[in-house]
Structure 1
């Protein structure tokens, strides 16, 4: 196994290097555990059905701008480490051409005790960190599995003895725990096996099944325009999903009717209030209808009143209905 270390100096060069590889950041998709990518999405990307968006998303921009902050924190927390931030003109892309597997390590570390290591930096919104990283019962912090697989892949390609994830959590302050990721050689073998299987599917034109929830936007892009042709949809599956669709349409229609009826009641409430903001009932219940101003974008500016009910202390129902 020979690992290439290829230097790049621009985002365009980096994107070009990644084209023919499964990269560490999306390895989790091959196991069905990635938050943002799927096997079908990867297949579409690597077979040219779609192209990687060269535009920087808000999340990517946040990560790029906050990564130097995380590196500085690492240096402060571990002055004994020799830390190399893999960025700028000397940045390196690691590649194993034998399986078309690649990675861009965030931080290389030379630790006097543990030797060479890699650190994967993630900027995480505080609420997301609590929901996805912290166990509600044990309060233990564990990265999402796709990030664990990413770190393992990067450590493998870097020839590192250890790996860690550093989630930079920004709220009122800044917190960045360092989470050790054990190097599991059997898991690394599985990663390499899944990557080989994927490229075999590409060579043999075996398209993976789509996840019609996660892949919805991609499928819409792939089939934007109809061409006037007709196809045979004979089979049980179309009958099943059309029946399910009709049930969901009935729920939608019921929901629309309920919303229309609720708006009629809201209108009657507003008529009772007149221009008053609040109305109080004998049991202490308050009914408010404050004016909300909506800015104009594609549509003209408008205002509407949102009716809400706050139960009084006397009745104190278990559930509060919001209109």
Structure 2
């Protein structure tokens, strides 16, 4: 059960104190900025810190905060334009300007990393501050490409809501607008009101995550691709040793569950193949079959071409040697019973 961070009748619950200005951002270079980020949980980290970011796990965020993440490649303007973050930064002023034009609200940059007055690890970098509006104080600017626009069809995605609630917690403000540019041509504006109960839960869960960072203890893996990347980065090679876990009751139960789940998956995979083949057999050379509940297609892909590497190695071995590059191995997880 989540414990409230402040008692309902306390002064802090009714009159949040203003945030501290930790550091100005105008003169920070990239390395300094990354160092500041490592020192606390920023608003963009909030969802990952509580295990609700679809793109980053707690384990991968923990690697960043403890300095274990692989160093980011240096910025290259010729390659950055393939990154959503590049376009988000480039279009942020445009999104802010069109937000002001649509709503009439004036906005300005804060140019500082803000810190919660009570929780030093809780930090925020605000896109814009809304000036002179009684009903909203912060602006978060977002961009979503064609492939990511569906995330916004029901409003602000959960991980963005957590980011904004984190900002409201740090600043003590009452509401924020989220302006998102969808597909480069449609601007939508959503209002996010301060939620005291959610903020209390957020603080408890973020503090729990920051405990993992402070004690240099890994948070549990969550089964995501992000956690898989983190584990492969943490342990890229095996040492050739054997770990005896026969007396470890917890891991023994985990192994038993893994075996049972794999048996269920194998059964369902075989059943899926049989059902699919039954439909393929009935379709024959038809391209499409229609059912009351949906449809399937069974079409031949376009002819392609492939390189005959065996023949090339035999007839032109010097070319193969000249263009062969080493490929690092990866660890494989195999189960034997």
* 1:64 aligned residue (85, 89, 92): 89
Q: How many residues are aligned here?
A: 269
Unpaired segments ≥5 residues, structure 1? 136-141, 270-277, 279-286, 300-323
Contact 2:66 2:216 in 1 (8 A): no
Q: CA deviation at 1:94?
A: 1.5
Q: CA deviation at 1:144?
A: 1.3
The equivalent of 1:194 in structure 2 is: 205
Contact 1:103 1:154 in 2 (8 A): yes
Contact 2:146 2:182 in 1 (8 A): yes
Instruction: State how far apart, in whole Å, the 1-side matches of 2:165 and 2:256 are.
Output: 44
Q: CA deviation at 1:126?
A: 4.0
Establish whether residue 47 from structure 1 lines up as the match of residue 59 from structure 2.
no
Instruction: State how far apart, in whole Å, the 2-side matches of 1:296 and 1:164 are.
Output: 52
Establish whether residue 102 from structure 1 lines up as the match of residue 151 from structure 2.
no
Instruction: State how far apart, in whole Å, the 1-side matches of 2:31 and 2:305 are.
Output: 38
Q: CA deviation at 1:32?
A: 2.9
**Closer, same or farther in 2 for the Cα pair 1:48/1:232, shift >3 Å?**
farther
The equivalent of 1:223 in structure 2 is: 235
Instruction: State how far apart, in whole Å, the 1-side matches of 2:102 and 2:235 are.
Output: 50
* 1:151 aligned residue (144, 164, 173): 164
Instruction: State how far apart, in whole Å, the 2-side matches of 1:205 and 1:145 are.
Output: 28
Q: Deviations over 1:16-52 (max 9, x none)?
A: 2111111111212343322222222233332333256
Instruction: State how far apart, in whole Å, the 1-side matches of 2:182 and 2:235 are.
Output: 39
Higher relative contact order (CA 8 A, sep 6+): 2
Q: CA deviation at 1:247?
A: 5.6
RMSD: 3.9
1:81-120 equivalence runs, <5 A:
81-85=105-109, 91-96=111-116, 98-114=119-135, 117-120=137-140
Contact 1:66 1:123 in 2 (8 A): yes
TM-score normalized with structure 2 length: 0.65
Q: CA deviation at 1:150?
A: 0.9
3-state SS, counterpart of residue 177 of structure 1: strand
The equivalent of 2:148 in structure 1 is: 128
Q: CA deviation at 1:206?
A: 4.6
Q: CA deviation at 1:256?
A: 9.0
Identify, as 1 or 2, the structure richer in strand.
1
3-state SS, counterpart of residue 188 of structure 2: coil
3-state SS, counterpart of residue 176 of structure 1: strand
1:117-266 equivalence runs, <5 A:
117-126=137-146, 128-130=148-150, 132-135=151-154, 142-170=155-183, 174-214=185-225, 215-234=227-246, 235-245=252-262, 248=265
Q: Deviations over 1:279-304 (max 9, x none)?
A: xxxxxxxx99888365889x8xxxxx
**Closer, same or farther in 2 for the Cα pair 1:11/1:128, shift >3 Å?**
same
Instruction: State how far apart, in whole Å, the 2-side matches of 1:51 and 1:118 are.
Output: 33
My pick for the range that moved more, 8-17 or 161-170, is 8-17
**Closer, same or farther in 2 for the Cα pair 1:247/1:104, shift >3 Å?**
same
Instruction: State how far apart, in whole Å, the 2-side matches of 1:289 and 1:189 are.
Output: 54
Q: CA deviation at 1:127?
A: 5.0
TM-score normalized with structure 1 length: 0.67
Q: CA deviation at 1:217?
A: 1.7
